Structure 1
Amino acid sequence: MTTSVEQNVNTYSRPSDLKITDLRIANLAGLPMRCTIIRIDTNQGISGYGEVRDGASKTYALLLKSRLLGENPCNIDKIFRKIKQFGHHARQAGGVCGVEMALMDLAGKAYGVPAYQLAGGKFRDKILCYSDTPSVPDGKEMGRRLKARMEQGFKFLKMDVGIGLLRDVPGALIAPPGMLETRTVMHQFTGIQITDKGIDHLCQYVADVRSEIGYEIPLAVDHFGHIGLKSCIRLGKALDQFTLAWYEDMIPWQFPEQWAQLTQAVDTPTCTGEDIYLKEGFKPLLEHHAVDIIHPDLASSGGILETKKIGDMAQDYGIAMAMHMAGSPISCLANVHCAAATENFLVLENHSVDIPEWNELVTGLPNPLIQDGYIQVPEKPGLGFDDINEELFRKYLDPRDPIYFDQPTDAWDNEWSWDRLWS
């Protein structure tokens, strides 16, 4: 006789007998980023989906396949501890995080519960979102674009304000040769400085935006450019008058002492973290009281369970957690479950609002997924969607590397090294 608990469980076999048998990938592009979707298959005919972070290599996931084969995907923490050594900050974490998402999807399906339940239950039924909005040089026009987001129902906004708006403004920037073009030199080492004229120009830009959208809805700012700490402080102090929601990634996250100086110097909340891997990476920022808001990208920070731990740790320091996300609906749903399960969550990013078919890459979701500025937390098992839309997946395959799930990955089955980190 089937018990009431077992009625919610896939009993083709038993979750305790579930084994990973394969890992396949599909490379997508134009979402607007490129990303690799992974599918983990099992001996019971159920599969779990995850996502390698936008812009990362598929190899970061494929090299993990041999470490996964034969494992029970319901042992999420055990497997995560086994593979987390193969991740690192930013995109290098993509494989580990994508696998963790897929394990959460699989375990949720096996036990018939949504992923947030595996993370301890939920604090909220819907997740507040903000939409990425591409910049334009004219502040009034930027304000109108943001106003259009408000008319779509968004209740939190973000835009870019930085030296990219000053390149054609004479006397706005001082820079050594070649530094305005580089993308590989850290902010503190470029020698780029912003002048009073440049600061005045950016202040007028934000004033023009505010004149269009008002002050009722939070407005965060990002992408200041590769300028050093002192220029960031001068610019931050000048922009404080506009009561912005946060200053994001003004300087690299690796310098907590400099972040502490910046945070103490300005009156606007500071925010960073989208490239940090694991809770240990966030700890120095918290211990130095260096930021007001942490901003992990779940596809870099360690997946659903690790990111919840990061949020919980930040809460102990009185710090809120916003979440960066620039992927497909699969990554988005992983973020939604994590946000639902994390008490100090603030708001979730989305880069794909202007791509109507983005929502339809998977089936069984509300359309549009974001309604009135929120995503409803799914109650279906796992990540909460029914299946992938094969037709759209094939339409959005990356033309540079158009791999789909039907292509075997057997070459990675026996990849091996002596992985132990101690003697």
Structure 2
Amino acid sequence: MKITSATVYHVKGQGLTPVIVELQTDAGITGLGEAAPSFGCGGSGAAGMIRDLCERFVVSRDARRINAIVAEMIDQAFWLRNPGGIAASALSAIETALWDIKARSLNLPVYDVFGGRLRDNLDYYANGWYFGAKSRAEVISKAEAAVRDGHRGLKMYPLARIRPNGTLRHPDNRFADDRTVVKDAIAFVRDMRAAIGPDVLLMLDLAGGLSHSDTILFCKGIEEYDISFVEEIIDPGDLGAMRQIAPHIQIPIATGERHHLINGFRDLLETRSVGILQPDIGNVGGFAEAFKVAALGEAYGLKVQPHVCASSLGASVGAHLSACIRNFYIQEHFPYWSTIPGYVEVANEPFESCARNGKLPVPEGPGFGVTLNDAVMEKYVVARLG
């Protein structure tokens, strides 16, 4: 089953700008994969790296030989040894598309290729429920509305600012010149917990935005508010700081979305400082690599919450991983993307609206169960190879 061509898309929407690769085969089977830079900067770089990798290592190859293709990319592309985010996300998108092809050729969901699903529905928490808020009071009102909509878990960003288009601006300069930020953030969490009540899960993401001493101070200040986890308490690569800070924090610590390949998680796990791993399939090296990371985390007694901030394609890919790993904890989910003016839905099967009764159903159908809306995607083609 020869890969005959590759199409790379970079969608220029609001809220998300997904980078997607579509691989076509001479058997008439196609596969889709998404790179992690669907948000933030780097989409153009990821799209370019996907193009370069496909041109040299993918087009004309046997699609069934996933391990051989991935191994050659890692060994011969040079920048995939200890990769940064752009190179790793390009590898991830291609590898994911290859598994989509493999599963479709067998007429199976991807999770069945990896041993079958362990669960039919996924617990999830909502992200993005704050879109459009202009103040903390409005954020709290939107949280109350999200709970009324049936979402049983929410993640908030107590340090972030909200841009006019409803997306977040992460902290600047660790708030070094703002002596009130920690107290204000603690009060924000207190008010949020009071608004949503005791039965809704509440997660916090700090995006590594505080100094180490302020991180400890903040986490001590929120202990009474029943926080499920606190995410990215430090810069992702500062393992020494993780060892230093973790003993002072009584809330489960989550991290992993900006770690690459299983090697990037090995040293993190050796710190014995993390309770919840968050590999991003579009960044860690692909679906099989995320599966390996979950297994490694299981050996350390850890939970896994796949990081998902992606299009309907990336969301479905994340759900397939969550379905087939033993130590799954909870799924990240963005049910409100379509409320952002200018948001572009890439798929014929939107994933964002499929939550029911506080659960996400595990996708069914061959591969990842996603097809692209060709009429929408045609204008976002940045490369065609083969």
1:360 CA drift (Å):
5.8
SS of 1:254 mapped into structure 2:
coil
SS of 2:330 mapped into structure 1:
strand
Alpha-carbon distance between aligned partners in 2 of 1:359 and 1:155, rounded to the nearest angstrom: 26
The AA in structure 2 aligned to 1:409 is: L
Residue pair 2:5, 2:59 contacting (<8 A) in 1 also: yes
Q: How many residues align?
A: 362
So what's the TM-score if we normalise by structure 2? 0.86
Matches within 5 A, 1:74-93: 74-85=64-75, 86-87=79-80, 88-93=83-88
Cα pair distance change 1:106/1:390, threshold 3 Å = same
- Give the structure 1 partner of residue 374 of structure 2: 390
Matches within 5 A, 1:396-411: 397=379, 402-403=380-381, 408-409=384-385
Q: Does structure 1 residue 292 correspond to structure 2 residue 275?
A: yes
Q: Does structure 1 residue 155 correspond to structure 2 residue 155?
A: no
Gaps of 5+ in 2: 163-170
SS of 2:337 mapped into structure 1:
coil
Of 23-32 and 38-47, the range deviating more from structure 2: 23-32
- Give the structure 2 partner of residue 23 of structure 1: 6
1:121 CA drift (Å):
1.4
Q: Does structure 1 residue 146 correspond to structure 2 residue 146?
A: no
Of 253-262 and 213-222, the range deviating more from structure 2: 253-262
Q: Of 210, 232, 235, which aligns to 1:249? A: 232
Residue pair 2:334, 2:352 contacting (<8 A) in 1 also: no
Residue pair 2:230, 2:251 contacting (<8 A) in 1 also: yes
Residue pair 2:311, 2:345 contacting (<8 A) in 1 also: no
The AA in structure 2 aligned to 1:94 is: S
Provide Cα deviations, 1:300-319, integer angstroms capped at 9, x if missing partner.
01111110110111111111
Cα pair distance change 1:24/1:226, threshold 3 Å = same
The AA in structure 2 aligned to 1:80 is: V
1:132 CA drift (Å):
1.9
Provide Cα deviations, 1:331-350, integer angstroms capped at 9, x if missing partner.
11111111111111112223
SS of 2:298 mapped into structure 1:
helix
So what's the TM-score if we normalise by structure 1? 0.79
The runs of at least 4 consecutive aligned structure 1 residues that moved more than 4 Å come to 135-140, 356-360, 364-367
Alpha-carbon distance between aligned partners in 2 of 1:322 and 1:119, rounded to the nearest angstrom: 18
Residue pair 1:39, 1:50 contacting (<8 A) in 2 also: yes
Alpha-carbon distance between aligned partners in 2 of 1:367 and 1:231, rounded to the nearest angstrom: 35
Q: Does structure 1 residue 123 correspond to structure 2 residue 118?
A: yes
Alpha-carbon distance between aligned partners in 2 of 1:132 and 1:329, rounded to the nearest angstrom: 14
- Give the structure 2 partner of residue 413 of structure 1: none
SS of 2:222 mapped into structure 1:
helix
- Give the structure 2 partner of residue 113 of structure 1: 108
- Decide which structure has the larger Cα Rg and report it: 1
The AA in structure 2 aligned to 1:251 is: I
Alpha-carbon distance between aligned partners in 2 of 1:251 and 1:225, rounded to the nearest angstrom: 4
Alpha-carbon distance between aligned partners in 1 of 2:282 and 2:352, rounded to the nearest angstrom: 24
The AA in structure 1 aligned to 2:48 is: T
Alpha-carbon distance between aligned partners in 2 of 1:376 and 1:360, rounded to the nearest angstrom: 20
1:245 CA drift (Å):
1.3
Residue pair 1:326, 1:352 contacting (<8 A) in 2 also: no
Alpha-carbon distance between aligned partners in 2 of 1:129 and 1:372, rounded to the nearest angstrom: 11
The AA in structure 1 aligned to 2:244 is: Q
1:270 CA drift (Å):
0.9
Matches within 5 A, 1:220-239: 220-223=203-206, 226-239=209-222
Alpha-carbon distance between aligned partners in 1 of 2:91 and 2:361, rounded to the nearest angstrom: 27
Cα pair distance change 1:367/1:309, threshold 3 Å = closer
- Give the structure 1 partner of residue 166 of structure 2: none
SS of 1:32 mapped into structure 2:
coil
Alpha-carbon distance between aligned partners in 1 of 2:262 and 2:198, rounded to the nearest angstrom: 34
Alpha-carbon distance between aligned partners in 2 of 1:203 and 1:381, rounded to the nearest angstrom: 46
Cα pair distance change 1:214/1:227, threshold 3 Å = same
Cα pair distance change 1:141/1:367, threshold 3 Å = closer
Matches within 5 A, 1:16-415: 18-30=1-13, 32-53=15-36, 54=38, 55-56=42-43, 57=45, 58-65=47-54, 66-85=56-75, 86-87=79-80, 88-133=83-128, 134=130, 136=133, 138-162=135-159, 164=161, 192=176, 195=179, 197-223=180-206, 226-351=209-334, 353-355=336-338, 361-363=346-348, 368-385=353-370, 387-394=371-378, 397=379, 402-403=380-381, 408-409=384-385
Of 145-154 and 42-51, the range deviating more from structure 2: 145-154
Aligned identity (percent) is 23
Residue pair 2:125, 2:155 contacting (<8 A) in 1 also: yes
The AA in structure 2 aligned to 1:403 is: V
- Give the structure 2 partner of residue 419 of structure 1: none
SS of 1:323 mapped into structure 2:
coil
Residue pair 1:129, 1:156 contacting (<8 A) in 2 also: yes
Gaps of 5+ in 1: 1-17, 166-179, 411-423
Cα pair distance change 1:221/1:255, threshold 3 Å = same
Residue pair 2:208, 2:236 contacting (<8 A) in 1 also: no
Residue pair 1:52, 1:97 contacting (<8 A) in 2 also: yes
Residue pair 2:7, 2:381 contacting (<8 A) in 1 also: no
1:30 CA drift (Å):
2.0
Residue pair 1:308, 1:342 contacting (<8 A) in 2 also: yes
RMSD of the TM alignment (CA)? Answer: 2.5
Alpha-carbon distance between aligned partners in 2 of 1:137 and 1:370, rounded to the nearest angstrom: 26
Alpha-carbon distance between aligned partners in 1 of 2:376 and 2:160, rounded to the nearest angstrom: 37
Alpha-carbon distance between aligned partners in 2 of 1:161 and 1:241, rounded to the nearest angstrom: 16
SS of 2:115 mapped into structure 1:
coil
1:366 CA drift (Å):
7.2
SS of 2:353 mapped into structure 1:
coil
